[in-house]
Amino acid sequence: SIEKGRFVFSDLSLVTPYEKTVFAVEFTLNNFSTRKDVASPYSFNASLGEDTTFTWEGDLSINPLHSRGRFVLAGIKPRDLWKYILDLVHFEVATGTVNVAGQYQVGIEEKNFQAQLIGGEIQLNDFNLIEKGTDNQIARLPLLSVQGIDADLAKKQVVGSCVTSKDAHVNGWLDPDGTFGIEKVFSLDALKAKYKTKLKTTDESGPPSQPWQLTVKEVMVENYGLNFEDRTTATPKRINLDSIRVDLKNLSNQRDSKAKINA
């Protein structure tokens, strides 16, 4: 049993130093054993800041290595994550919260690592993205919900039951030099330069690896708005699209798959 634990992460290599504290860590593990096929129940609770909590519970077996349970991350603030890279990007996350939940199974079977996510859920609320150092809004997303996420590491498959979003507004523009403003805002060159890694060379003589298969059974977008401004002319030209509605069914990257669209 661990009570009132504290974990502090600091990165002083950044222009703006970053620090994150995980406080009030509570962890319990009962009847732990190395005997075969003995599962030990556990629970984990922690606060990642104001109104942000992480709960995780299930059971754990060491012989063989296997665990299953459920986790809930509630009230995650994307702005806190943005602060870690704020000196390396040209956008700013002004507001927003994310909730993540799901059941999982992980373990070692026949010397292979297996992992599954069952019934995963992601919900993004009140997300507002602006150009850093300005009041220019890039995107406002009141709601984005992803339900019924099933993922299998061994099969390399991800299936989502339903993605819904509504009342979003997106702004784009073409700068006087003919480049898209979004391209500049989302340039990750500085981020890549700081965290670049050397990729290990692999033996490509063997069979090609199986690509991941992604499928979403239904995507529903309602009441979207899009504004685009062409600033290459003396008098900027504007295009506004409102009340955008899109309904997609059976969207997949599998070969020869066909999705139905109603827009």
Please state, for a pLDDT cut of 70, what percent of the chain lies above it.
95
Residue 199's pLDDT is 44
Counting other chains too, the contacts that 26-35 makes at CB distance below 8 Å and 24 or more residues apart are 26/2, 27/1, 27/2, 28/1, 28/2, 29/1, 29/60, 32/60, 32/62, 33/62, 34/62, 34/63, 35/63
d(CA 263, CA 249): 12
**80 residue type, one letter:** D
Lowest mean pLDDT among 7-11, 28-32, 129-133, 189-193: 189-193
**219 residue type, one letter:** V
Q: Residue 106: helix, strand or coil by DSSP? A: strand
Q: How far is CA 91 from CA 65, 129, 187, 191, 228, in A?
A: 43, 7, 9, 12, 18
For 75-98, the pLDDT digits (tens) are: 999 999 999 999 999 999 999 999
Contact 259/250 with Cβ under 8 angstroms? Answer: yes
**168 residue type, one letter:** A
**Residues 90-113: what's their mean pLDDT?**
94
Nearest to 244 by CA among 228, 224, 218: 224
**112 residue type, one letter:** N
**Predicted model pTM:** 0.87
For 200-210, the pLDDT digits (tens) are: 445 555 567 78
Please state, for a pLDDT cut of 90, what percent of the chain lies above it.
79
For 113-165, the pLDDT digits (tens) are: 999 999 999 999 999 999 999 988 999 999 999 999 999 999 999 999 999 99
**Residues 6-27: what's their mean pLDDT?**
93
Lowest mean pLDDT among 70-74, 163-167, 188-192: 188-192
- Given pLDDT bands bounded at 50, 70 and 90, which one contains residue 198? very low
